[in-house]
Structure 1
Amino acid sequence: MMDLSQLQSTLASKSYEKIADICDEVMLQVASRGIAFQEEWPYAIHLLGHIYVNDLNSARFLWKSIPQRIKESRPELVAAWKIGQCLWNRDYAGVYGAIRGFGWSPEVIGLVTTFSENYTKKMFQLLTSAYSTITVADVAHFVGMSEDDATNYALQQGWTLDSSSQMLTVRKPKITTEQKLDPSKLQRLTEFVFHLEH
């Protein structure tokens, strides 16, 4: 008998970053007791747990270890793997297509939705650090949105739009390097500089 109560409470509390570790641990415990678990194992959740924390190597290993008959009988598992494949191949738009291209079950919809939101934020941060200007079409491609939605999202982040050229100007985050001056550090620095000079 498998105890998936910890997994269920983790899903309920939306602590999605813990899912892969919990699944790995329970799977090892069950396997070490020689219990056959393949038919009822929550493979899609397990796979999505690895994808959520961007552990694509573990996701690939898990996928390869799943029996073919289970892959063929669980479309949600195949849909989860499609997200992993797109991430692996750096097919940014494909990630969003894979997410939107399947009607996720109530058990995983929160996990997939949160992953999608986090992925969009991550992609937007990458664009912010990599570009000073970028076309609306490119932003839409990288964040998996329509051009209108991508423009609105960028404008909400403080970017500006040149509507004639359809170019967005990136607003770089302000880097604050305000530090409190510790008097003891200042004293040590003064002594060090005094030593160097004399």
Structure 2
Amino acid sequence: MNYSTISSALASQSYDKIADICDNLMLQVAAEGVSYQDEWPYAIHLLGHIYVDDINSARFIWKSIPSSIKENKLEVVAAWKIGQKLWTRDYGGVHEAIRGFDWSQELNGLVAAYSELYTKKMFQLLLSAYSTISIQDTAVFLGMTEDDATSYVLQQGWAVDPASRMLTVKKQPIVTEQKVDPGKLQRLTEYVFHLEH
């Protein structure tokens, strides 16, 4: 079986395309009636769906994996552990699952890219959900030590109260659309028309 498209996507760091590539390849192979289960890159397929935040599809793939693969391929189990933590909204557990396995050279880049993406997503969640939050909770959400988490959010303009060990979230400015007054628009149109004629 030729997995060159998957290898190319990994090599070019096109991680957002891996889930679709794997899905299409799996359909193609199934249509040809070829048995692929023993050699299918399940860990890549799972992580591809996790990367694009498609946990339902990752869960479906996990359920379709033969038990012999689940018992013998530790990296497949490790990939699904990330999916499980996402499924149960164990935000800190996602970081633990990522760090808790020695990923193969082939998957190291994908996992590292997902870790960075997930940290940014958690930061955005904190930004939208909190006005103040403890350093300890922030560290759990971001998957960092308390010192690293504090440093990270301070760089984003947050403030820290060392006495209470609380962080004050710096909200991003809300961009509002300006409404155009129809009367002004009409006058502008008439002015431009007048200039042209």
TM-score by length of 1: 0.90
One-letter code of the match for 2:47? Answer: L
Aligned to 1:165: 164
Cα offset for 1:180? Answer: 9.5
1:37 to 1:187, Cα distance in 2 relative to 1, 3 A: same
2:186 counterpart of 1:187: yes
Cα offset for 1:146? Answer: 0.9
Tell me the SS of whatever aligns to 1:40. coil
1:76 to 1:184, Cα distance in 2 relative to 1, 3 A: farther
Whole-Å Cα distance in 2 between the matches of residues 121 and 39 of structure 1?
35
Tell me the SS of whatever aligns to 1:134. strand
The C-alpha deviation readout for 1:99-145, integer Å capped at 9, x for no partner, is 00000001111111111101000101110111111110110111111
Whole-Å Cα distance in 2 between the matches of residues 80 and 167 of structure 1?
34
Tell me the SS of whatever aligns to 2:89. coil
Tell me the SS of whatever aligns to 1:168. strand
- For 1:87-98, what aligned pairs fall within 5 Å after superposition? 87-98=86-97
Cα offset for 1:175? Answer: 2.4
- For 1:115-194, what aligned pairs fall within 5 Å after superposition? 115-177=114-176, 186-187=185-186
One-letter code of the match for 1:42? Answer: P
Whole-Å Cα distance in 2 between the matches of residues 6 and 77 of structure 1?
20
Bigger drift between 171-180 and 53-62 goes to 171-180
1:188 to 1:85, Cα distance in 2 relative to 1, 3 A: farther
TM-score by length of 2: 0.90
The C-alpha deviation readout for 1:38-77, integer Å capped at 9, x for no partner, is 1111100000001111111111110010100011110000
Unaligned runs of 5+ in 2: 189-197
Tell me the SS of whatever aligns to 2:102. coil
Q: How many residues align?
A: 190
Q: Structure 1 segments of 4 or more deviating over 3 A?
A: 176-185
RMSD: 2.3
1:185 to 1:17, Cα distance in 2 relative to 1, 3 A: farther
Whole-Å Cα distance in 2 between the matches of residues 125 and 83 of structure 1?
20
Cα offset for 1:183? Answer: 8.6
Task: Give the fraction of aligned pairs with identical amino acids, expressed as a percent.
Answer: 69
Aligned to 1:102: 101
